[in-house]
Amino acid sequence: MNSNKMCRSRNGIIFLFITLFFLSCSDDDVEEVMEPVTLANVDEELVPYFERFQEEAAARGISVDLATAEIEGVIEEIDEQHVAGQCSYGRFRNPRLVTIDASFWRRSSDRFKEFIVFHELGHCYLNRGHLESAFSNGVCVSIMRSGVGDCFDNYHVNTRAYYINELFEQEFAR
Ligand SMILES: [Zn+2]
């Protein structure tokens, strides 16, 4: 009788450890599963550019969390001509939505895709409006230009860092 009792309590202890082990195991699993769904409402083709926006902010010491901001992103035909992207928000549009024109997306380079996604996130995340200012040579001061002003774009490998600094400039001041 006595030895049976001891056996049972020992099993009890072993069972407890196993349970703890399983609990900590499934905690890890939950974390792994949750990671990729953070930008769940963003088209998978836009995700790398949303992530790049966060990375460029982080490289400048600015914390940007687009998943928490719940900004959505889609690629679809925008009926209005010459419109590559738009940011929809307001009383009747929550969460905010970045729409990128499907035709534009198909024919554009990685650099120009980045330009447009960053521009729209400039509206949707940074709350920036348009800025049409130009340098004396006519080049746009900001990627937040509307595209209907007089300045022209000069976004390439050598100017990219300047334009991204300018994009986040207000955030530096906070
Ligand atoms: Zn705009």
Span 69-99, pLDDT tens digits: 999 999 999 998 889 999 998 766 678 999 9
Q: Please give the distance, rounded to the nearest whole angstrom, from the Cα atom of residue 51 to the centre of ligand 1.
A: 20
Spell out the residues 6+ positions from residue 164 whose beta carbon is closer than 8 angstroms to its own. Answer: 56, 60, 118
Predicted local distance difference test score (pLDDT) of residue 38: 77
Mean pLDDT calculated for residue range 3-18:
48
Predicted local distance difference test score (pLDDT) of residue 51: 96
Q: Please give the distance, rounded to the nearest whole angstrom, from the Cα atom of residue 4 to the centre of ligand 1.
A: 77
Q: What percent of the chain has pLDDT over 70?
A: 75
Architecture, CATH, for domain 40-173: 2-Layer Sandwich (3.30)
Predicted local distance difference test score (pLDDT) of residue 92: 66
Mean pLDDT calculated for residue range 45-69:
95
Q: What is the mean pLDDT of the chain?
A: 83
Mean pLDDT calculated for residue range 38-52:
94
CB 108 within 8 A of CB 92: no
Distance of CA 53 to the CA centre of its chain: 6
CB 126 within 8 A of CB 91: no
Peptide bond into 95 cis (omega under 30): yes
Predicted local distance difference test score (pLDDT) of residue 41: 93
pTM of the model as a whole: 0.77
Q: Please give the distance, rounded to the nearest whole angstrom, from the Cα atom of residue 36 to the centre of ligand 1.
A: 29
Cα separation, 164 vs 56, in Å, equals 8
Q: Please give the distance, rounded to the nearest whole angstrom, from the Cα atom of residue 37 to the centre of ligand 1.
A: 27
Mean pLDDT calculated for residue range 4-12:
46
Predicted local distance difference test score (pLDDT) of residue 94: 76
* Closest-CA residue to 68 (of 27, 48, 40): 40
Q: Please give the distance, rounded to the nearest whole angstrom, from the Cα atom of residue 100 to the centre of ligand 1.
A: 12
